């Protein structure tokens, strides 16, 4: 199946781990069964997206949870039940860029701060972001992750179970001196998954350690050329059209090449 995809994507939640989703053109939600390769339309979310005015349907993140779907649209966070009932849960002063779903609460983030909120939208705790940058959030398995640039530490936000955020600080990617322009694409429970911005045919697994960064494994991509041309990199404006997700001890690389969605997998 050939898809013209926007750059938005998401890794599925724990109750839907066999699915990964992408949003073509911002109007429909396509689900991909990573086991069978089957592709289907998620009608619940698609119906909601298509009812929105075209100038207000910019979705920056979707998370799947036991109780439905959480979507960040401009300044707002929406919850959609599995039966299709949509509710605006939260509003922030800047573009709401990421959300992570806990059992009872949510972690949300924008350029200015990371907030712990209840699922009703009640603010429980807030942490200011000092190095402000748009799209500084990195996809991760557990928690919310933020890094302004390669010179900045990677921050891991999780809940401490007492209506506060626990925050871990990891060394900046600039410590990987042998790698030119390292780009952090995904964070699992054990590894940072990184590739050089200009050479995406080599993927590195970096051990998560708050004292130093060590390369544990190097993965050579075969059969597909993920490395863009200079003009393609200019069009990306710093945000590569290649994404990495994780499920059941397998990492998946997503990219659109000449209009075709390519999905590759690797293990660490």
What confidence tens digit (pLDDT) does each residue in 72-93 have?
888 999 999 989 999 999 998 8
Strand 59-65 to strand 39-41: parallel, antiparallel, or no bridges (unpaired)? Answer: unpaired
Tokens 């349907």 sit on residue = 57
Angstrom distance (rounded) from CA 175 to CA 197: 15
Q: Which residues of the chain have pLDDT under 70?
A: 1-27, 56-57, 131-135, 150
> Is domain 1-91 annotated with CATH 2.30.29?
no
- Spatial CA neighbour of 6 closest among 40, 47, 57: 57
Angstrom distance (rounded) from CA 145 to CA 154: 7
First to last CA, the chain: 29
CATH topology assigned to domain 106-170: Thrombin, subunit H (2.40.10)
Q: The tokens of 103 are what?
A: 């059992």
Do the domains at 1-91 and 106-170 have one common CATH topology? Answer: yes
Max Cα distance, the chain (Å): 50
pLDDT at residue 134, rounded to an integer: 57
pLDDT at residue 157, rounded to an integer: 95
Q: The tokens of 134 are what?
A: 């748009």
Helices (H), the chain: 43-51, 230-236
Expressed in percent and rounded to 5, the helix, strand and coil fractions of the chain are 10, 45, 45
pLDDT at residue 77, rounded to an integer: 94
pLDDT per residue as tens digits for the range 243-258: 888 887 889 888 877 7
- Spatial CA neighbour of 86 closest among 95, 94, 76: 76
Q: The tokens of 112 are what?
A: 């200015």
Sign of the alpha-carbon dihedral angle for 256, 258, 260, 266: negative
Ordered by start, the domain boundaries in the chain are 1-91, 106-170, 174-268
Angstrom distance (rounded) from CA 182 to CA 184: 7
Using CB atoms within 10 A of its CB, is residue 152 exposed (0-12), middle (13-18) or buried (19+)? middle
Whether the predicted model's global pTM rises above the 0.95 cut: no
């Amino acid at each position: 199946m050939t898809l013209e995809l926007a750059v938005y994507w998401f890794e599925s939640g724990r109750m839907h781990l066999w699915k990964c989703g992408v949003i073509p053109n911002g109007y429909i939600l396509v689900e991909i069964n990573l086991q069978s390769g089957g592709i289907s339309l998620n009608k619940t979310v698609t119906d909601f997206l298509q009812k929105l005015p075209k100038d207000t349907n910019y979705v920056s993140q979707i998370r799947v949870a036991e109780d439905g779907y959480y979507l960040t649209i401009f300044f707002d966070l929406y919850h959609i039940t599995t039966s299709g009932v949509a509710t605006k849960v939260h509003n922030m002063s800047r573009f709401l860029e990421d959300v992570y779903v806990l059992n009872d609460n949510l972690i949300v983030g924008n350029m200015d701060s990371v907030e712990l909120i209840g699922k009703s939208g009640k603010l429980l705790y807030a942490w200011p972001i000092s190095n402000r940058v748009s799209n500084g959030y990195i996809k991760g398995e557990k928690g919310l992750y933020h890094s302004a640039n390669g010179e900045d530490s990677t921050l891991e936000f999780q809940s401490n179970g007492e209506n506060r955020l626990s925050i871990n600080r990891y060394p900046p990617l600039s410590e990987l001196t042998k790698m030119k322009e390292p780009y952090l694409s995904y964070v699992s429970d054990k590894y940072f998954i990184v590739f050089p911005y200009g050479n995406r045919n080599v993927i590195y697994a970096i051990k998560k350690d708050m004292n130093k960064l060590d390369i544990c494994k190097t993965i050579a991509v075969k059969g597909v050329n993920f490395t863009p041309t200079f003009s393609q990199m200019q069009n990306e404006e710093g945000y590569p059209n290649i994404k990495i997700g994780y499920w059941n001890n397998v990492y998946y690389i997503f990219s659109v090449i000449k209009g075709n969605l390519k999905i590759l997998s690797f293990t660490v």
